[in-house]
Amino acid sequence: MLLSRARRLIAVAAAIAGALPLAALGTVPAAAANGAMAATLNCAGSIRVNITNTGAVDGKGTLRCATPTTSYDGQLTLSGSVTSISGLVFQTKTSDQLSIFSGSTGEIIDLTVNRRLEKLSDTASGNATEQGSGSVVGGGPFGGARESESGTGTFGTGMVTTFLITNNYILDLNG
């Protein structure tokens, strides 16, 4: 009994770390049970996007996500580069990882996202908007889903231009 429980805990830890997909544990999101893809994952929260003067982009987000049947805590990590700057608008392309967890189970979803970050004033700080679209890379319960996101917040400039998208930030996956 103890050995069986230890193996299960190790498998869950590996799944959370991304080394083992949840499907191997039989604990994929409920909408993906029986091999069907989860049609929708909706997330809300906030993200921080940093843009360096060399064009590198990184950031993190804390989200609350849900399918029609299950609720998850979510973490978003992004990394990429600026593809263009026009006036107050930064266009970026990033590779993101959305980690969702419910209790002791989790799933890591790889995304490729094109983002548009816009400063709403030509000052050192002020209001900003964010919009993005992309797709899920690879398989898993959300394989092939389209990604869309948007939100508003603030920006600040210095050595790094930072966008804090904290108001009405949403990220949706739709298959």
Mean pLDDT of 2-12: 40
Report the pLDDT value the prediction gives residue 11, as an integer from 0 to 100: 43
- Of 115 and 7, the structure prediction assigns the larger pLDDT to 115
Do residues 100 and 71 lie in contact, with contact meaning Cβ atoms separated by under 8 Å?
no
Q: How confident is the model at residue 38 (pLDDT cuts 50, 70, 90)?
A: low
**Non-local CB neighbours of 6 within 8 Å, separated by 6+ positions:** none
Rounded CA-CA distance 90/145 in Å is 25
Tell whether the model's pLDDT for residue 30 goes beyond 50: no
Report the pLDDT value the prediction gives residue 139, as an integer from 0 to 100: 82
The pTM for the full model equals: 0.77
Mean pLDDT of 70-91: 97
Tell whether the model's pLDDT for residue 33 goes beyond 90: no
Q: Would you list the domain boundaries of the chain?
A: 2-174
